[in-house]
Structure 1
Amino acid sequence: MTEYFSLADSDVIGFDLDHTLCRYHLKETSRLIYESFARYLVEHKGYDKDLLNLTPATWDFCFKGLVVDLEDGNLVKLAEDGTVLRATHGTNDLSTEDIIKHYGPKREWGHFNSLNTTFTRSAKYYFYDNYFDLPGALLCGRVVDMLHKRGNEVNSDFWKDMVAAIDHNYKTSAFKVLVRMC
């Protein structure tokens, strides 16, 4: 989990839904994914329009292997043994002292064994493990920032809206229509 792949890596090669080998332009693809999720949150869930405004530097926040702790809004980068290498609350970096306050002197993330052994989804965390997820990590961080700005408590409730945005944008019915057209 210590490898860093950022969106600055401009292209990746992978398989599309129909198993076609494709070259993905990460910057453009990530921007489209982020914008579609953010637009849904703004238009359907009443989130602040500021979520739609990004600068090129904003993308430095994204790299594979981030875990969002849904209970407190922290995003953590873990070492292979579960040690918290770095963490943010929303998009704001936590200091070493803050990391120790949250995760103890050994900087241990409490759900690491569950994540490391099963890779199952959890109501307590979400692991951003692929390039199509990374825009969601940025959006999660920015939503936490927005909740703080509004004076709202950060808890796992915001995740329901994130999942709704994902469901809205990746409806399987949209893929069925494409298959029928071919």
Structure 2
Amino acid sequence: MQDRNTTAAMPFERGIFCNRTLNLRSIRAIGYDMDYTLVHYRVDEWEGMSYHHLKEKLLAEGWPVEELEFDPQLVMRGLIIDRELGNLVKANRFGYIKRACHGTRPVPFEEQRRQYARTLIDLHEDRWVFLNTLFSLSEGSMYAQLVDLLDQRRLPAGLGYAELQSVVRRSIDLAHMEGQLKADILADPGRFITPDPETPLALLDQKHAGRKLMLITNSDWPYTQAVMSYSFDPHLGGGMTWRDLFDLVICSAGKPGFFARETPAYEVVNPEGLLRPVVGPLKAGSVYVGGHAGLVEELFGLSGEQILYVGDHMY
């Protein structure tokens, strides 16, 4: 008799993991993030290049970081920066700290217990920075290495651990805003992107099952168009493109504020990204910049409980 338990043979990376009850029968629309969700990057290459641009920013400020190298094994998604003590910590689901490193040095258990015996992590406090996406790996790696340099008094005088984290975040945000990293990726997408032929086909199945599909990404329109075309179009037959899969595309969404604040939307009216202010409801099949979740609910006539959003953030 054939074994009908197909989950046993499913690769780990194909699994779906859930920490709460989810009734898919009530879901009428599914929204997807793009980066590290529908589009898979080679983490070492992407974060290595991000680290490189961050390092260049610090070198331009005269910091002694020329010998530092990106270490993908140093940091993982889910760790938390303690801006007060200069530590990277691992906490359980209740906020109790289980492991800690000061810079790149593991903190001995007794020292860790003295530091955190009465501490419960509250991510709303400025003291803590949650590395909750794969985009955070270069930031966490550089911060840990800079803590070592700060302790050796090799960084500018007057810096504390909190100020150090602010400098790292500001520098990496600047590198992203200047478009350096995305320009590198578009110049050589095969180096950074690992296309998954099954992803567009899975979305096509969902569309045929009657679900409304949305792409809601913080990336801008030119980058989204190029990356989605590279990742999806070769695996869709019948002259289809990635645009045919989605009932709505929203770029530069400004998540997580997209889900909580009302901001104006602009329609993308040509491939070059010309924008036109939106007056009235959104239109199905169009591409927009900005906006907010309320406009999506209005377009499809659905409540928030009927819409599932899939992304890469850990909460």
TM-score (norm 1): 0.72
Question: Where does residue 109 of structure 1 map in the other structure?
Answer: 119
Deviation string 1:47-100 (CA, Å, 9 cap, x unpaired) is: 21345434xxx3221111111111110110001122211100111100101101
Within 2, Cα distance between the matches of 1:160 and 1:150? 18
Q: How far 1:24 sits from its partner (Å)?
A: 1.0
- 2:52 pairs, out of 26, 35, 59, with 35
Distance 1:50 1:150, change over 3 A: farther
Is 1:39–1:52's contact at 8 Å kept on the other side of the alignment? no
Q: How far 1:109 sits from its partner (Å)?
A: 3.4
Q: How far 1:144 sits from its partner (Å)?
A: 0.5
Question: Where does residue 65 of structure 2 map in the other structure?
Answer: 49
Larger Rg: 2
Gapped regions of structure 2 (runs ≥ 5): 1-12, 14-31, 181-218, 224-270, 274-315
Aligned residues: 155
Question: Where does residue 16 of structure 1 map in the other structure?
Answer: 34
Secondary structure of the corresponding residue to residue 72 of structure 1:
coil
Within 1, Cα distance between the matches of 2:39 and 2:176? 19
User: Aligned partner of 1:167: which letter?
Assistant: D
Question: Where does residue 158 of structure 1 map in the other structure?
Answer: 164
Deviation string 1:148-174 (CA, Å, 9 cap, x unpaired) is: 112666431112311221221121788
Within 2, Cα distance between the matches of 1:49 and 1:155? 17
Distance 1:47 1:99, change over 3 A: same
Q: Please list, as runs of the form range in 1=range in 2, the aligned pairs for 1:123-134 lying within 5 A after superposition.
A: 123-134=126-137
Within 1, Cα distance between the matches of 2:49 and 2:42? 11
Gapped regions of structure 1 (runs ≥ 5): 1-9
Deviation string 1:100-156 (CA, Å, 9 cap, x unpaired) is: 11112xxx534x2x32xxxx4x43221000100111111110110111112666431
What is the root-mean-square deviation in Å for CA atoms of aligned residues? 3.0
Q: How far 1:15 sits from its partner (Å)?
A: 4.0
Distance 1:85 1:50, change over 3 A: farther
Is 1:69–1:124's contact at 8 Å kept on the other side of the alignment? yes
Is 2:80–2:88's contact at 8 Å kept on the other side of the alignment? yes
Is 2:102–2:147's contact at 8 Å kept on the other side of the alignment? yes
Within 1, Cα distance between the matches of 2:80 and 2:34? 25
Distance 1:98 1:51, change over 3 A: farther
Within 2, Cα distance between the matches of 1:20 and 1:101? 39
Greater relative contact order (Cα 8 A, min sep 6): structure 1 or 2?
Answer: 1
The structure with the largest helix share of the pair is 1
TM-score (norm 2): 0.43
Question: Identity percentage over the alignment?
Answer: 23
Distance 1:75 1:168, change over 3 A: same
Within 1, Cα distance between the matches of 2:37 and 2:170? 28
Within 2, Cα distance between the matches of 1:147 and 1:181? 46
Within 2, Cα distance between the matches of 1:51 and 1:126? 26
